[in-house]
């Protein structure tokens, strides 16, 4: 049976396959990060030129870098906190700069991207703790004025989607006010390699491999077993009581079935959600939106989902944002 590939995706795949191979799993972690991240930076070229400011978020583990994007005409006192992908091992606010700019424009509100600590040096729960600290920072007024949870959304891609879902669950379990909404792009929600999508797409023809995904999970889990019921694998948690979610799955992604399973369980739990299965595209495609219309549409759908739910809330006024943030 022939697998359909989006024609624009096919062009990109051929270009990427023609590039030099690099076995990042066998390289020293610093070299691996420098090489992998450098290869992804050009995807942000041509992204919307909206104002962006770098800042530092204090956490129990120390200072954490972050970047605030605020497009012209953005909703007053509304923020999306964004967790980047990269297998909990790679990625930064630089590698996902274009994605966050596009999401800010699509949602019509500010996006705060955070540089959470990376595995394997900092396995679970360190990245989740950092993301939760970022949300609390926004609530407490770290951006210039306190912003209530109903004016905050959360989003992430791949490993970042895992962290975003886990953050919603942790807040629910701790009795904290629910956030307004979330957008989860092709996430990895539990270390299950027995799925049909791993069998069909994990061999190496579509960029992300099952072998690399096992390595990422090993980095992230640390001392946690694969069978963990902790929030390292949020797809296994009870899901009732979550805010409205946008889910997307890439059709050629070994992780496709993670999202399909999550959508099924959300429906059983009575959680409102939208699920877009995007055929013919690969894991990680969000950063390719400049050349891949399907990826641009995915960002637009996630941004509009969040905007619709933020617009259902009270605006909370139009307090000024911190003018002391340094601009890029």
DSSP codes of every residue in 88-157: TTS--TTTTHHHHHHHHHHHTSEEEEE----TTTS-TTHHHHHHHHHHHHHHHTTTSS---GGGEEEEEE
Catalytic pick among 130, 253, 257, 258: 253
**Structural domains of the chain sorted by starting position, each given as residue range(s) with its CATH number in brackets:** 7-17+24-317 (3.40.50.1820)
Q: What is the pLDDT of residue 312?
A: 76
User: For residues 118 and 124, what is the distance between their CA atoms, to the nearest angstrom?
Assistant: 9
Active site residue 318: no
Q: What is the pLDDT of residue 126?
A: 98
Catalytic pick among 53, 134, 158, 197: 158
pLDDT tens for each residue of 205-218? 999 999 999 999 99
Beta strands of the chain (E only): which ranges?
A: 52-59, 62-69, 79-83, 110-114, 152-157, 182-185, 245-250, 273-278, 326-327
User: For residues 1 and 136, what is the distance between their CA atoms, to the nearest angstrom?
Assistant: 49
* Across 71-84, average pLDDT: 91
- Average pLDDT of every residue of the chain: 94
pLDDT tens for each residue of 180-198? 999 999 999 999 999 999 9
- Categorize the per-residue pLDDT at 1 as very low, low, confident or very high, splitting at 50, 70 and 90: low
Q: What is the pLDDT of residue 63?
A: 97
- Categorize the per-residue pLDDT at 75 as very low, low, confident or very high, splitting at 50, 70 and 90: confident
Active site residue 253: yes
pLDDT tens for each residue of 269-279? 999 999 999 99
Active site residue 305: no
Catalytic pick among 283, 289, 305, 309: 283
Strands 62-69 and 273-278 come out as unpaired
Judge contact between 161 and 85, C-beta under 8 A: yes
Q: What is the pLDDT of residue 311?
A: 82
| 91: region left, alpha or beta (phi > 0 left; psi from -120 to 50 alpha) | left
* pTM for this prediction: 0.94
pLDDT tens for each residue of 101-136? 999 999 999 999 999 999 999 999 999 999 999 999
């Amino acid at each position: 049976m022939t697998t359909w590939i989006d024609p624009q995706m096919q062009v990109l795949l051929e270009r990427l396959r023609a590039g030099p191979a690099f076995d990042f799993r066998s390289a020293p972690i610093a070299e691996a990060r420098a090489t992998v991240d450098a290869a992804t930076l050009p995807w942000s070229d041509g992204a919307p030129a909206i104002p962006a400011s770098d800042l530092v978020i204090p956490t129990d583990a120390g200072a954490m870098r972050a970047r605030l994007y605020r497009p012209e005409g953005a909703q007053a006192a509304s923020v999306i906190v964004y967790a980047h992908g990269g297998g909990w091992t790679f990625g930064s606010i630089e590698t996902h700069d274009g994605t966050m700019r596009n999401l800010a424009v699509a949602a019509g509100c500010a996006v705060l991207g955070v540089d959470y600590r990376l595995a394997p040096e900092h396995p679970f729960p360190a990245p989740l703790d950092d993301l939760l600290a970022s949300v609390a920072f926004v609530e407490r007024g770290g951006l210039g004025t306190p912003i209530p949870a109903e004016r905050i959304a959360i989003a992430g891609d791949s490993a970042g989607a895992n962290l975003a879902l886990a953050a919603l669950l942790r807040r629910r379990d701790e009795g904290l006010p629910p956030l307004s909404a979330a957008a989860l792009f092709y996430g990895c929600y539990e270390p299950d390699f027995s799925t049909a999508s791993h069998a069909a797409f994990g061999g190496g023809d579509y960029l992300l491999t099952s072998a690399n995904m096992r390595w990422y999970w090993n980095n992230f889990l640390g001392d946690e077993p694969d069978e963990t019921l902790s929030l390292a694998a949020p797809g296994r948690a009870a899901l009732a009581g979550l805010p409205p979610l946008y889910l997307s799955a890439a059709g050629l992604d070994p992780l496709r079935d993670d999202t399909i399973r999550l959508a099924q369980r959300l429906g059983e739990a009575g959680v409102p959600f939208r699920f877009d299965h995007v055929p013919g595209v690969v894991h990680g495609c969000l950063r390719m939106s400049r050349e891949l219309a399907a990826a641009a549409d995915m960002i637009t759908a996630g941004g509009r989902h969040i905007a619709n739910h933020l617009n259902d809330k009270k605006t909370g006024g139009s307090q000024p944002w911190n003018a002391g943030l340094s601009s890029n």
